Homo-oligomer: A and B are copies of this chain.
Amino acid sequence: MPSKRTLKMFLDELASSTPAPGGGSVAALSGALGAALTSMVCNLTIGKKKYAEVEPSMKKILVQSEELRETFTSLVDKDTLAFNKVMEAYTLPKDSEPQKALRSAAIREATKEATQVPLEVMKHCIDALALAQEVASRGNTNSISDAGVSAIMLHAACESAALNVRINLNALDDSDFTGWKADELASLLSTSRMMLDEIQAIVEEKMKND
């Protein structure tokens, strides 16, 4: 569990010569950091007289952002596990034709599965960005830079996950699957970019008026 590791241990493992955890796990962690910052803005808004009006919605957002934080945190390790499964498939014997066929099938299946994890990260980023937008618009203005950083980390998570989806798709020769996923990826990426731009405009406006 990443949650049991110290930050230092995680960074050491990352920097080491083992290929996992790698960029895929960092994408998920970036999502968890983004969701945590949205939660923080909620927590710094709830209970403040000036923001009494938005308190019920901030409480709802907090529940959702905390759920997303948990999901992202679990995806940090899921990505590492999925990657290790692909590596295992590559170690299968390939001495005979049947063995070669089995090995290819195992690699294909493991790679498809490994594509799902970063794709899931991307989808959750869109949900989390919607919450970040809410807290940027209506949360405590003193925390506006935290709402901005939340959005930056969520979009970075989405872009990073996209690279991991693509490197897995490159390894697949199943063109139906790869074509469909590539479309999904492009749409998620452009949505995330658009949401970040919108949130950054809100942050800009609030920083000016501060």
* A binding-site residues for B, Cβ under 8 Å: 2-8, 10-11, 14-17, 19, 22-23, 26-27, 29-30, 32-33, 35-37, 39-40, 43-44, 46, 65-66, 69, 73, 76, 142-146, 148-150, 152-153, 155-156, 159-160, 163-164, 166-167, 170, 203, 207, 210
Q: State which of B3, B149, B170 has its C-beta within 8 Å of the C-beta of A207.
A: B170
Residue of B nearest to A169 (CB): B207
Residue of B nearest to A2 (CB): B7
Asked if A44 meets B17 with Cβ closer than 8 Å, knowing A3-B7, A145-B166, A160-B152, the reply is yes
Is the Cβ of B32 less than 8 Å from the Cβ of A30?
Answer: no
Residues on the B chain within 8 Å of A76, using CB: 7
A159 to B34, CA, bound (A): 14
A7 to B11, CA, bound (A): 10
Is the Cβ of A44 less than 8 Å from the Cβ of B19?
Answer: yes
Q: State which of B8, B30, B35, B159 has its C-beta within 8 Å of the C-beta of A73.
A: B8
15 contacts between A and B (CB under 8 A): A5-B6, A5-B7, A14-B33, A15-B35, A15-B39, A15-B40, A15-B65, A16-B40, A16-B43, A19-B40, A19-B142, A22-B143, A29-B33, A30-B156, A170-B207
Residues on the B chain within 8 Å of A44, using CB: 17, 19
A170 to B203, CA, bound (A): 13
Residue of B nearest to A16 (CB): B43
Is the Cβ of A145 less than 8 Å from the Cβ of B167?
Answer: yes
Asked if A153 meets B30 with Cβ closer than 8 Å, knowing A15-B66, A36-B14, A207-B166, the reply is yes
Is the Cβ of A33 less than 8 Å from the Cβ of B26?
Answer: yes
Is the Cβ of B17 less than 8 Å from the Cβ of A43?
Answer: yes
In the complex, given contacts A14-B37, A22-B37, A30-B30, what are 19 additional A-B residue pairs having Cβ atoms less than 8 angstroms apart? A2-B7, A2-B8, A3-B6, A5-B6, A7-B7, A7-B76, A8-B73, A15-B65, A15-B66, A16-B40, A17-B43, A19-B143, A22-B146, A23-B37, A23-B149, A149-B163, A152-B156, A153-B160, A166-B207
